[in-house]
Chain A
Amino acid sequence: MGWGTWLAFKQFQNRREQKPTSLAPVSILKPLKGVDEGLVENLESFFKLNYPVYEILFSVTEKTEPAIAVVQELLSKYPSVDAKLVCEPQNTGPNPKINNLMTAYELAQHDVVLISDSNIRVKPNYLLNLVPDLSDSVGIITAVVAGVSAKGLGGWLEASYLNTFYARWMVLTKKLGFPSVIGKSMLFKKSTFKRIGGLKTLGHYIAEDYMAGHSIQKLDLTVELMRSPIEQFIGPYSYQNFWARHLRWGRIRKSIAPIAFLIEPLFFSTVSGIIGSFSLKALFGFSPLLVWFSHMALWGICDGLIYGLMDQFSWKALGAWVIREALAPLLWISILSGNTVSWRGRDYQLLKGGLLAEGRTT
């Protein structure tokens, strides 16, 4: 816990600007589905990048997709930016995101490709700080995501999760040599992906980001984290959405790494506090209640420090943190109880290793 917090600090405290060295042209791929609050601003931030040569390829799966209007408005507002809309889904497997992206991926003109989700909002120097780190020994650069502009209980819970547990987890697993790749921001070279069969190979996995990282490591290339977190615009988010999303993520983790999933509760503040307090009582006769509250306070301070690094800490954030920590064991039990996930209106059966069985519409 302390080590993870320290690593997170080390990773993000010096958000120094990169001295641009090699600024390879970049193709930015944006899969779109629906219009959430903040979408215009999120997408617009990619039209304002300070970068010599880049193109943006928006991809949708249906001609009736509501996000098309948003994109067309931006295309006419920024005619000087090389951007286009693609509506030509392919069927590479059950992963809808890969199916949506495949044609845009094939159309991408540049070797360096950035896949970036629609709820990511970036600063103008984003690519300047990101691309120079993509050296020959690096396979993928991903980023820690900071949840910002949360609204509603689900939104605050999501921010609490991203800005504490997940941020620490990403820097910690990177340090331990098992880096997590987050699909919200993946920078890589097409020529590298060609060595694993291209993007289409990932279409059979629900966690295409995890599998991309896993495959890249098999080529003796590294997965790196961007030096500063990127912002995910959360906006209004219901409790049900929060629960469904984390149920999905948890079941994916369970399918990919079942043993790691089984020991996950040991890393929950509540559970590790209970184990610690009873252990200390048995060994030294300490008061379990006192130990447990001290443990929770210390855990809260560490999480608060990371939260402060990622976003502005507030009382609402503290409240969300308390609820999230209390919910974590219940969520874990719920994850344990099934192997299906709902994703973009479809139910999928998860197979071993993160493979997906074909879904059915719900």
Chain B
Amino acid sequence: MYLADFHLHSNFSDGKLSIPALVDYYGKRGFGAIAITDHFCEQTTLIGRASSYLGVTLTAATFPIYREILKSEQERAWDQYGMCLIPGVEITKNSISNHRSAHFLVLGNLDHIDPNQDIRELSDRVRPEGALVIAAHPVSTQKIEKQTFHLWDRRYELASKVDAWEVASGPYLFDEVRYSGLPLIANSDFHSEKNMTSWKTLLSCEKKQEAVLQAIKKQQLDFQFYREEPKRESSYTSIPWIMGPQLGHYGMGNVASLQAVSK
């Protein structure tokens, strides 16, 4: 079993660490799989364009370099830490209204990413190519920040287009999502080291991109709270995850392990 986190930001958008630094940070803590998912804002809105000017999003110009660095770091993550690095982006559609704002992750195949496309079109395009689409922090994150409710408002019509919904973002657990019956995933939305204390996903599949994506799709996963101890950099504790109704087939019972996962 190993810990995984599929929502990390690097300094290609608004994260503090570079991609190599993220690989080292998670690799040293024994994570088995991570996905780097920088913001890629749609360019048809004023907010999206402003984000480009401020340099807090991927752009058509930086995206090719981002992909190349992810590719080379994938090899290093595996060679150095035995960790699976999955390329990703967070398609970011911000509007003044929270109910018109949506963030979703695309993991795996980034060949045909267009941030201006609607989630339905993009999902239809990338999922047959092996990518996953994940709704990011779909309900209130309980933080003073931009909220994104558009996907949650349309969760039933979008259910067939989204592979998983974030049940936790950082340290916050979303009860609405947890008991919704939708497929789940827990991520940290890591921007800097202070975001490390958060819910993570627990996997037991092979540490290969295809196997990891399949495990998410088939919901062969569990969740665990990871606490970064300030003085003991690589230690963590866990608190129980009382699993929702879908968890019967995970073979982990209704309560996730209370012990720290061995690294």
User: Which residues of A are found within 8 Å of B71, using beta-carbon distances?
Assistant: 197
Of B52, B53, B54, B65, the contact of A196 (CB 8 Å cutoff): B65
Q: Which single residue of chain B is at the shortest CB-CB distance from A354?
A: B61
A211 at the interface (CB under 8 A from B): yes
B233 at the interface (CB under 8 A from A): no
- Contact A258-B69, Cβ < 8 Å, known A201-B64, A218-B12, A220-B18: no
Q: Mark B37-70, 1 if CB is under 8 A from A, else 0.
A: 0000000000000001110000111101101110
User: Which residues of B are found within 8 Å of A204, using beta-carbon distances?
Assistant: 64
B197 at the interface (CB under 8 A from A): no
Interface residues of A in 174-231 (CB under 8 A from B): 194-197, 201, 204-205, 211, 214-215, 218-220
B195 at the interface (CB under 8 A from A): no
Q: Which single residue of chain A is at the shortest CB-CB distance from B43?
A: A352
Number of interface residues of A (CB under 8 A): 20
A60 at the interface (CB under 8 A from B): no
A211 and B60 contact, CB distance less than 8 A: no
B20 at the interface (CB under 8 A from A): yes
A353 and B61 contact, CB distance less than 8 A: yes
Interface residues of B in 1-33 (CB under 8 A from A): 10-12, 18-21
Q: Mark B225-248, 1 if CB is under 8 A from A, else 0.
A: 000000000000000000000000
A107 at the interface (CB under 8 A from B): no
A352 and B21 contact, CB distance less than 8 A: no
A219 to B18 CA separation, bound complex (whole angstroms): 6
Closest CB-CB distance, B218 to chain A, in whole Å? Answer: 33
Closest CB-CB distance, B36 to chain A, in whole Å? Answer: 12
B72 at the interface (CB under 8 A from A): yes
B19 and A218 contact, CB distance less than 8 A: yes
A117 to B72 CA separation, bound complex (whole angstroms): 29
- Contact A201-B18, Cβ < 8 Å, known A218-B11, A258-B53: no
A351 at the interface (CB under 8 A from B): yes
User: Which residues of B are found within 8 Å of A259, using beta-carbon distances?
Assistant: 53-54
Interface residues of A in 335-358 (CB under 8 A from B): 351-355
A196 to B64 CA separation, bound complex (whole angstroms): 9
B53 and A219 contact, CB distance less than 8 A: no
A220 to B54 CA separation, bound complex (whole angstroms): 20
A220 and B21 contact, CB distance less than 8 A: yes
A211 to B66 CA separation, bound complex (whole angstroms): 12
A195 and B64 contact, CB distance less than 8 A: no
Q: Which single residue of chain A is at the shortest CB-CB distance from B62?
A: A353
A197 to B65 CA separation, bound complex (whole angstroms): 7
Closest CB-CB distance, A214 to chain B, in whole Å? Answer: 8
B60 and A196 contact, CB distance less than 8 A: no
User: Which residues of A are found within 8 Å of B69, using beta-carbon distances?
Assistant: 195-197, 215, 218-219
User: Which residues of B are found within 8 Å of A197, using beta-carbon distances?
Assistant: 64-65, 67-69, 71-72
- Contact A355-B61, Cβ < 8 Å, known A218-B11, A220-B18, A259-B53: yes
Q: Which single residue of chain B is at the shortest CB-CB distance from A259?
A: B53
A190 to B62 CA separation, bound complex (whole angstroms): 20
B60 and A352 contact, CB distance less than 8 A: yes
Closest CB-CB distance, A216 to chain B, in whole Å? Answer: 10
Of B11, B20, B53, B60, the contact of A355 (CB 8 Å cutoff): B60
Closest CB-CB distance, A152 to chain B, in whole Å? Answer: 36
A107 to B19 CA separation, bound complex (whole angstroms): 30
User: Which residues of A are found within 8 Å of B67, using beta-carbon distances?
Assistant: 197
Closest CB-CB distance, A313 to chain B, in whole Å? Answer: 38
Q: Which single residue of chain A is at the shortest CB-CB distance from B49?
A: A352
User: Which residues of A are found within 8 Å of B68, using beta-carbon distances?
Assistant: 195-197, 201
B65 and A215 contact, CB distance less than 8 A: yes
User: Which residues of A are found within 8 Å of B53, using beta-carbon distances?
Assistant: 258-259
Among B18, B19, B64, B71: residue with most chain A CB under 10 A: B64
A204 to B21 CA separation, bound complex (whole angstroms): 27
A205 to B62 CA separation, bound complex (whole angstroms): 10
A205 and B61 contact, CB distance less than 8 A: yes
A205 to B63 CA separation, bound complex (whole angstroms): 12
User: Which residues of B are found within 8 Å of A220, using beta-carbon distances?
Assistant: 18, 20-21
User: Which residues of A are found within 8 Å of B18, using beta-carbon distances?
Assistant: 218-220
Q: Which single residue of chain B is at the shortest CB-CB distance from A353?
A: B61
A-B contact pairs, 21 of them (CB 8 A): A194-B72, A195-B72, A196-B72, A197-B67, A197-B69, A201-B68, A205-B61, A211-B65, A214-B65, A218-B69, A219-B18, A219-B19, A219-B69, A220-B20, A220-B21, A258-B53, A351-B61, A352-B52, A353-B52, A353-B62, A355-B61
A-to-B contact residues, CB < 8 Å: 194-197, 201, 204-205, 211, 214-215, 218-220, 258-259, 351-355
| Contacts A194-B72, A205-B61, A354-B61 supplied; 10 other A-B pairs, CB < 8 Å | A195-B68, A196-B68, A197-B72, A215-B69, A218-B11, A220-B20, A258-B53, A259-B54, A351-B61, A355-B61
